[in-house]
Structure 1
Amino acid sequence: MPYNLGYTKYLENLRQYKADTEHKKVYAWFDNSEKNPASRAQHITSLPDSIDIVGVMYPSELATFEKEEIVTLQQKGTKVVYTISYDEIKAQYEDLISTQTELENESTFNTFLKKEIEKQLTYSEPFDGIIIKYIGQNPKYMNEEDKAIYTETQNIFLNAIFTWKSQNSNKILSFEGKPQNLVDKNILNNFLHIIIDAFQVSNETELNLSILECLEADVPTDRFIIAVSSPSSDGTEGFWGTTEAIIESAYWTTAESNIYTKAGIAINNVQYDYYRTNGTYHTVRETINIMNPAPVK
């Protein structure tokens, strides 16, 4: 009984910390493709409790154990989300038209886009929210005709998202990608965070540049999250030279900027760290502690 009471208090404190305490936020994307897990590495409940938002990479067909584990994370105050990517939908369409002379009932990309995003929005019920990913192209380099076409397509994507959000006001919505490529950048005020991909970055200078490139008029500067990869065991991902990208990015978030707010980091393929550190997620925990050090008593 004392253990249960202690754990209940721990959960209460954890939820309060995540909801009320000012701290650098941590997103983590998790590869949940394995539906018959053989090890703890394939369970989101093995992730460190202090992660704020977990994004699953395969949201469409959740196994029973995954639905149960989502509830377990929610009891810890962790938000569980998934991503809807405009550019992936576009690539999917282009794949289809390259192999078929005519798509049944999908004569245009806009029609296909509308149908696909509506399908992906139906996955949202067990989740706490959605990240929308949009790379696109910068409209300031377009002529008026191309910009009008681009705007129409972008609005189909965004209007579907905001309609969903209006019906799910209790759920979170974050943006990932290139905010400078949105026609109406004022809509970014509706997103919890703006996640900037820095997977190809190899040093702090490039990291700073990846943010500065986004700072066009009307892009909010108070909610930037930088996205980097967890270091892989074979050394092909998640390193700046010989140092881990998530560690270096964590230190970067602690250096104040008078231009924009460094709100936290997002860790891609977080499960890599399970294998590298014998199941302890040691590098991820170190990353979190750099940004949000435990108070000294």
Structure 2
Amino acid sequence: MKMKISINKLYSGLFLLLILILSASCSDWNDIEAVDIDPQHAKDQNPELWARYMESLRIYKQERTHYITYGSFENGTEQSKNEGAYLRSVPDSLDIVTLANSENITAYDREDIPSLQEKSTRVLYLVDYAKKMTELADAAALSTWLDKAVATATELKLDGFAFNGLPSYGGTDAEQAARKEAARLIVSKLSAFGKTLVFEGDPAFVDAADLSKLDYVVLNTTDIENAVNLKLHVVNILETYALSKEKLLLVAKIGSKLTDEDLNKLDAVTEMTNRVISLGPLGGLAIYALGDDYYQAKMNYQTSRMAIQTMNPSK
């Protein structure tokens, strides 16, 4: 009887010892250990191949006739959970990327801007006058604000400006005159920068004499929900203003829908791409909320890439 009890105690002791050993081993396996990882950028892995790719992008964007693809990007993210929030991740084939949050350019943005420009993507500063109109009613205040924007664009070596503003269809003569004066001041300051100049919105805001100074007009078509109204709107704009078709870009927002003539609700970016060709041909497509397209079932920026390929299939 005493022998049996001793054996049981021995087994119990060995079992506890085994548990302690296994626990210690598991703890060692789970310890965080620093590992040196030095990921190489593509241009460091094969500089010659990278240089050839950069040259092909330059030729496509600067020398070949093609439909323009313009992206509005919500920059200004300090830290994010995914790459879709950073400029460095936008599709290489975009012609223009506008910083939608230009008054909050972060260190991450500053680091990424040159990488886009290396790929011949023009990076523009958005002068969001539509958002600031109430604060900048005084011409002196507006001038100071514009000077600050120009100074930032100069410091960062940006490729130009996009700007917006709301036309005045009502109000007193004095209010309408002030709105026109503001528009002329904006164009005067930004066009003097000597690079790309884009207007986003209703071209009625811009003085007729200044329309020729614009490289592109991004027509705000995000609120148009069906193809019939879209066609009427585009025809009206082209007939009313002295704009060439090549300067006009239609806008679609990632995730929105456009109803065609057969009452089918289709992806707005994809369908608007087709309208760029059929209603003109026009200058190209502007994609808003570009970062929302980063994660797709098939690949990153699936919708945007397909739109670019549809407009420029052989490029």
TM-score (norm 2): 0.76
How many pairs align?
Answer: 264
2:70 maps to what in 1?
A: 27
**For residue 160 of structure 2, what is the amino acid of its counterpart?**
G
**For residue 180 of structure 2, what is the amino acid of its counterpart?**
Q
Q: Is the CA contact 2:74–2:99 (under 8 Å) kept in the aligned structure 1?
A: yes
**Is 2:185 the partner of 1:159?**
yes
Q: Is the CA contact 2:76–2:104 (under 8 Å) kept in the aligned structure 1?
A: no
Residue-by-residue CA offset, 1:239-264 (whole Å, 9 max, x unaligned): 1254210100111112253xxx5100
1:179 maps to what in 2?
A: 203
Aligned partners of 1:197 and 1:128: how far apart in 2?
Answer: 22
Q: Is the CA contact 1:89–1:116 (under 8 Å) kept in the aligned structure 2?
A: no
Structure 2: any 5+ residue segments left out of the alignment? 1-43, 260-264
Aligned partners of 2:128 and 2:180: how far apart in 1?
Answer: 12
- Relative contact order: is structure 1 or structure 2 higher (C-alpha 8 Å, sep ≥ 6)? 1
Structure 1: any 5+ residue segments left out of the alignment? 94-105, 232-237
Question: In the TM superposition, what are the counterparts of 1:42-81 in structure 2 within 5 Å?
Answer: 42-81=85-124
Instruction: Pick closer, same or farther for the CA change 1:115–1:154 going to 2, 3 Å.
Output: farther
Q: Is the CA contact 1:180–1:219 (under 8 Å) kept in the aligned structure 2?
A: no
Aligned partners of 2:239 and 2:177: how far apart in 1?
Answer: 18
Runs of 4+ in 1 over 6 A off after TM superposition: none
Aligned partners of 1:216 and 1:149: how far apart in 2?
Answer: 26
1:101 maps to what in 2?
A: none
Residue-by-residue CA offset, 1:51-95 (whole Å, 9 max, x unaligned): 10011121223223321211011010000112213321124x2xx
CA root-mean-square deviation? 2.4
Instruction: Pick closer, same or farther for the CA change 1:111–1:243 going to 2, 3 Å.
Output: same
1:264 maps to what in 2?
A: 284
From 236, 254, 258, the counterpart of 1:240: 258
TM-score (norm 1): 0.80
Give 1:275 deviation, angstroms. 2.9
**For residue 291 of structure 2, what is the amino acid of its counterpart?**
Q
2:19 maps to what in 1?
A: none
Instruction: Pick closer, same or farther for the CA change 1:161–1:254 going to 2, 3 Å.
Output: closer
1:281 maps to what in 2?
A: 301
Residue-by-residue CA offset, 1:145-176 (whole Å, 9 max, x unaligned): x345423332234324323432x22x210111
Q: Is the CA contact 1:41–1:279 (under 8 Å) kept in the aligned structure 2?
A: no
Give 1:214 deviation, angstroms. 2.1
Indicate the larger mover: 286-295 or 211-220: 211-220
Give 1:2 deviation, angstroms. 8.2
**Structure richer in helix, relative to its length:** 2
Q: Is the CA contact 1:89–1:113 (under 8 Å) kept in the aligned structure 2?
A: no
Percent of residue pairs bearing the same amino acid type = 22
Aligned partners of 2:297 and 2:96: how far apart in 1?
Answer: 21
1:129 maps to what in 2?
A: 160
Aligned partners of 2:219 and 2:64: how far apart in 1?
Answer: 24
Aligned partners of 1:283 and 1:155: how far apart in 2?
Answer: 40
Q: Secondary structure at the match of 2:283?
A: strand
Instruction: Pick closer, same or farther for the CA change 1:248–1:156 going to 2, 3 Å.
Output: same
From 182, 191, 194, the counterpart of 2:214: 191
**For residue 195 of structure 1, what is the amino acid of its counterpart?**
V
Q: Is the CA contact 2:72–2:100 (under 8 Å) kept in the aligned structure 1?
A: yes
2:50 maps to what in 1?
A: 7
1:116 maps to what in 2?
A: 145
